[in-house]
């Protein structure tokens, strides 16, 4: 006798879940490819530009826009809508110019700059708040260091 579970057709929920997982792994693969592109970009430009200007050029590049699009798709796939990872509110306008990718650390790991642990999607206003908070912390640290 055949096992009835083996012959049972896949339900819509299972099919949707399987497709989402496949799409998610495809997006993560795309991030890996973008990491390689960014590293090659770094290798080409590292003698021409300082670290600061290398990052600035990367932010203006097609590589960065592809990363923004990919992270937007991942965020929508997981949450159903685009969510700011700073204030946890919906980003209603999903055009690339209306949200930011925030890199959590000032030192880039050029071999893996788009690591999911390093990147946040934020509103433009939240991105400014993040950087203002970082500057404030640095200034407070300088004050404490100068007092000792």
Answer yes or no: is pLDDT of 51 > 60: yes
pLDDT band at 36 (very low <50, low <70, confident <90, very high): very high
Percentage with pLDDT > 70 across the chain? 86
CA 135, CA 145: separation in Å to the nearest integer? Answer: 15
Answer yes or no: is pLDDT of 3 > 60: no
Decide which of 5 and 78 is more confident.
78
Per mean pLDDT, which range of 3-7, 15-19, 48-52, 84-88 is the poorest?
3-7
Answer yes or no: is pLDDT of 141 > 70: no
Q: Please compute the mean of the pLDDT values over residues 45-56 and round it to a whole number.
A: 90
Give the domain ranges of the chain: 11-147
Answer yes or no: is pLDDT of 17 > 60: yes
pLDDT digits (tens, 9 = 90+) for 83-129: 999 999 999 988 888 899 998 877 788 888 998 888 999 999 999 99
Q: How many CB atoms lie within 10 A of CB 123?
A: 21
CA 84, CA 127: separation in Å to the nearest integer? Answer: 10
Q: Are 119 and 40 contacting, i.e. CB atoms less than 8 angstroms apart?
A: no
């Amino acid at each position: 006798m055949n096992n009835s579970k083996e012959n049972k057709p896949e339900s819509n929920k299972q099919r949707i879940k399987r497709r989402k997982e496949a799409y998610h792994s495809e997006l993560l693969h795309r991030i890996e490819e973008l990491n390689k592109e960014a590293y090659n970009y770094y290798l080409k430009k590292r003698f021409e530009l300082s670290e600061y200007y290398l990052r600035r050029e990367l932010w203006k590049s097609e590589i960065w826009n592809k990363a923004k699009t990919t992270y937007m798709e991942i965020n929508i796939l997981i949450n159903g809508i685009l969510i700011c990872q700073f204030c946890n509110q919906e980003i209603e306008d999903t055009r690339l110019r209306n949200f930011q990718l925030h890199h959590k650390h000032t030192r880039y790991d050029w071999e893996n700059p788009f690591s999911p642990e390093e990147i946040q999607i934020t509103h433009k206003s939240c991105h400014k708040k993040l950087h203002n908070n970082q500057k404030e912390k640095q200034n407070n640290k300088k004050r404490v260091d100068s007092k000792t």
